[in-house]
Chains A and B, each alone.
Chain A
Amino acid sequence: MTKMSGAQAIVEALKRQKVKKIFGIIGGALLPVYDVLYDTPEIRHILVRHEQCAAHAADGYARASGQPGVCMATSGPGATNLVTGIANAYMDSSPIIAITGQVNAFGVNSSYLIGKDAFQEADIIGITTPITKHNYQPKRASDIPETVKQAFYIATTGKPGPVLIDLPKNAQTETVEMKFTDNVEIRGYKPKTSPHPLQVKKTVELLSKAERPIVLAGGGVITSNASPELLALTELLMAPVATPLMGKGCFPENHPLSLGNIGMHGTSAASRLILEADVLLAVGTRFSDRTTGKLDEFCPDARIVHIDIDAAEIGKNIEVEIPIVADAKKTLRAIYKSLASKLRKSDSSPWYKRVQEVKEQLKEETSGSEKDLKPPRLIKELRKILPSDGIVATEVGQNQMWAALHFMAYEPRTFISSGGLGTMGFGFPASIGAKVACPSRPVVDIAGDGSFRMTEQELGTSVEEEIPVTVIVMNNSVLGMVAQWQRLFYGRRYSAVKLGSTPDFIKLAEAYGAEGIRVGSLKEFSKAVRRAIKSEVTTVIDVPISPEENVFPMMPPRAGLKGIVESEEEL
């Protein structure tokens, strides 16, 4: 027991959780906490320029490191500015802790109390209830140690997700005897991690008889660090692996069994082969509409095994034959162990041959002249330059889908993208967070000009805080993905998509003290990237591309995987 203020208690509790970095913006309702941080060299506070980016940076930090990211904002507008970032983390099951200031819950002057519409008061508990895994409002300083302990436990276990702690100012200033404990006991929260042996047995029986098995590996594989187990099992089964966006990186995409991305802009090989499969092993994925398209055309002939740590994902979007509610790593290991004695598959199986045949048939050639700056070529060039542990974050839109299709991820946690919420402006702050988590590795944000404009002010953060990242702006002066839909499905009526040529991204970068490089050929692009990833300052590479570019393959609206098309002519 030690006597301390609530503000000291929260910082102490964060230290006990091994928090080393916080992304945030100070404000009136958090002054006591920031005053303690002033004397806490063990925790680095990174001052961002907008609270949304504090949450995205914490999210990027979490995805790159596997450790929870922490963001902080003051009451009222500070807290509400976090909302998009929290919703983004919630949709993609990313463990972040958001700490917000709040007006007094108890005090001498009742006009400053919660519920009186005090200055900079917002009901952030009410606002974030549907977009957090859980939230807390410790009204007394003495509640803080246990609250923080529980918050981290909930955020990082089971299906991870954001947890918000709303700190009334009186809870920060009160000084009381604090009790810190290492035990967490939450009677309403007991995540199950071990697979049911009977379900594993059924799965093993099904897989051992499967002739055309296919694996759908989602973000849960990355969360549970199950990539080695996934690789072992798929090689035993000789089953190809398709990844929804969130799973990208969980399986090396240069492996012969990799089919790359599946979904609305998935590869043709993945879309075609899943239709032929007789057994689908889905692990750590929630069958989102962007992944499956029309449900009755999604692997119509396959019997489905669904492994997910969240019981509520079973049967939510799709009915499956064998559900397993458990941790992906433990389950894949259990399946492998019992299957290894039953199965000897070789690369002479007809299914493996078929997989290679389809992959070969659909292998696309990218060629063109030196001046031809097609996004797929740019992204393939980037892959050649980046080391295999180099981290790519993306914005949202065409840039993201080109990255998903053409950037081969070799390792987990090297591809960071806003999957569920589709948040434009996510990539840049997320790449700052990733760079903070992995300072020795190059971090590149694959951006479009529309998305980059949404959070470009974070150039200030990256320069002032010395967090150098590379931003590749594929610049078509248009909101490209929407323009693509208008081109293909709305008779080229380009409503509200033209952004014009402002700002000049080179001048913008320079205004912030960053570096800006405009490139006009593939060679220049390559040179600029090589330089940027070694630079000690953030570099914006402005690459003019045609506003007429489309992302293909594409599953047209309301279609299924069968309806996926390779070009505008096929529509």
Chain B
Amino acid sequence: MKPRKYSQQMIDKWLGLLLMVPIVLIIFGITGIPFVRAVYLSFTNKVVGLKEEFIGLENYRSLFTDKIYWKSLNNTVIYTVGCIVAKLLAGLLLALLLNQNLRGKAFFRTVLLIPWALPGMVAATTWRWMYDSTYGIINSMLLKTGMIELPIPWLSNPGITLLSTMIVNVWRGIPFFMFSLLGALQTLDKQVFEAAYVDGAGAFKQFIYITLPGISSVLGISALLSTIWTFNDFENVFLITGGGPVYSSSVISTYTYDLAFIQNSFGRALAVAVSVIPLMLIMIMISRKIINTDINQ
């Protein structure tokens, strides 16, 4: 072997750092610069076309008395928590069912995946069509089968509009949990279950003491990812109710959009967006332990 001028270790080190450059540029550059500018602009009265003026905490102060802001925040929390719980439970149930030896398992898996594969805006638009007060099939079916007497105002009753959007988010999101958890369930060792059965543990005990701990890290990561996605869900609410009527289904993402692109006040929009970062950080920190165990395996 010819003698090397540089050790493999040195080559590795420089190559490694070199290959990190594009990632750093993309993730920290393209994400970081707007982010920093966003924080700066949130302290100004930036409006499209005009030069911004520094106004300090004025935008943030106005949020305290902004009823729509608090309504949006409230809605966002309800939307996020409600959808996650529903998706997780349904996904877990379906994963447990599919984990058995079934006939047509592949068929079920393929078909049940489709809502996740569809573009989010397609799902939202289709459900919007189904919810339509005049031409919608949902009310038509419910009325024709006699399950309800009056059409349900999915898109106009302020008490129901948020729920209408949540149903669609759940419809779209169940497959994600179902497939993640199914994969996790399949890694569990059957012998442990058999041993427990021999020891007298019923199905319920087995579930609590063997299944749940076994899938806990996948459950945790899936829940975390889905929470972030659900919290940021824009197209679903925007395309079904537009955040209305009268902001009844407004969430933080749609309110930010409204302030920025319809009311044209970027400064306030950014203040809204930045103000929810602490909430996001708390969510991330709560689940960080689970992520760390996964990465450092």
**Do A and B actually bind?**
no
Q: Which residues of B contact A (CB under 8 A)?
A: none
Where the two chains meet, the residues of A that have a C-beta atom closer than 8 Å to any C-beta of B are none
